[in-house]
Amino acid sequence: DSYAIQSFERGISAQNGGHFAWEIVPVEIFNGRGKPPTLVDKDEGLGKSY
């Protein structure tokens, strides 16, 4: 519904504006031998549904 879409878009906008940065602890994910680790420092779930 329109409320859910509006809420989702506000969440994306807030994340892109850095408003959630203080809540998220960066996590380093190791990808295997010889590959550099990946740093996850934002909620990746917000952008996947759109």
Residues ≥6 apart with Cβ < 8 Å to 38 = 28, 29, 31
Dihedral sign for Cα atoms in the order 13, 49, 45, 35: negative
In tens, the pLDDT along 1-17 reads: 899 889 989 988 998 89
- Chain-wide mean pLDDT for the chain? 86
> What pLDDT band is residue 49 in, cutting at 50, 70 and 90?
low
**pTM for the model:** 0.61
Q: Is the model's pLDDT at 40 over the cut of 80?
A: yes
Could you tell me if 15 and 42 are in contact, meaning their C-beta atoms sit under 8 angstroms apart?
A: yes
In tens, the pLDDT along 26-39 reads: 999 999 889 999 99
